[in-house]
Amino acid sequence: MTRIIGITGGIGSGKSTLSDRFRAHGIPVIDADAIARTALTPASDCFADATALFGPDALRPDGTADRAYIAAQVFADPKKREALNGIIHPYVLSEMLRRSKACTEPLAVWDVPLLFESGFDAFCACTVAVLCKEEIRIARVTERDGADEQNTRARIKAQITDEERERLASYTIRNEGSLEAFLFEADALIERIRKELE
Ligand code: ADP
């Protein structure tokens, strides 16, 4: 059975960069955010339940979801947001488990921004937290997405802190220096995890 390495970290910490490095080492990556983005497509298992929360106006004439309408409803009503998350999270988990079961490699990565908050860490053989000071993370996200600083700070506040990640994770890796230094340390960590899990 494939053993799962859960990767997490705050927004802009370098989580995707680390996941890419695992991929470069031949370890497949299952991306929770990418799966969550498919939740509101008609082919997903949760499409009917998720759109039903918002009534007939959530569907466009062609049967696809009206994402702008749903986003506005969720923005205006925290209860609706919770209800939608209550449908999307189990869908993401079941899809991640399904893909992991279908995986023929000994190891696979789960890239999950809210790994500990969601409890998905319970399915992982080990967990890795990418740690990085908030100011550096904000600068990176601003450069990557052209994101508004206040918006990024609000998103950081909705996540657990690096102190908590450090306490909960099996391994931690800091990403506050150059990209080269991070990749060098990442390679050593991947080898170490391979030895311990395979
Ligand atoms: P996350 O997935 O945690 O949000 P990313 O891996 O996407 O973070 O990294 C955020 C941005 O910062 C990306 O554009 C990435 O290329 C860049 N980045 C990551 N690590 C470094 C680093 N050590 N030095 C400079 N830029 C970095």
Model pLDDT for residues 104-117, shown as the tens digit of each residue: 999 999 999 999 99
Q: Which atom of ligand 1 is nearest to the CA of 11?
A: 4
Q: Rounded mean pLDDT of 163-184?
A: 98
Q: By percentage, how much of the chain surpasses pLDDT 70?
A: 100
User: How many angstroms separate the alpha carbon of residue 25 from the centre of ligand 1?
Assistant: 19
Pairwise CA distance, residues 66 & 64, whole Å? 7
Banded pLDDT at 81 (limits 50, 70, 90): very high
Banded pLDDT at 122 (limits 50, 70, 90): very high
Q: Rounded mean pLDDT of 43-70?
A: 96
Q: By percentage, how much of the chain surpasses pLDDT 90?
A: 94
What count of other Cβ atoms lies within 10 Å of the Cβ of residue 110?
A: 25
User: What is residue 185's predicted lDDT score, i.e. its pLDDT?
Assistant: 98
Which residue puts its alpha carbon closest to atom 4 of ligand 1? Answer: 12
User: What is residue 198's predicted lDDT score, i.e. its pLDDT?
Assistant: 81
User: What is residue 147's predicted lDDT score, i.e. its pLDDT?
Assistant: 84
Beta carbon of 8 within 6 Å of any ligand 1 atom: no
Banded pLDDT at 18 (limits 50, 70, 90): very high
Pairwise CA distance, residues 103 & 18, whole Å? 20
User: How many angstroms separate the alpha carbon of residue 18 from the centre of ligand 1?
Assistant: 9
Pairwise CA distance, residues 194 & 198, whole Å? 5
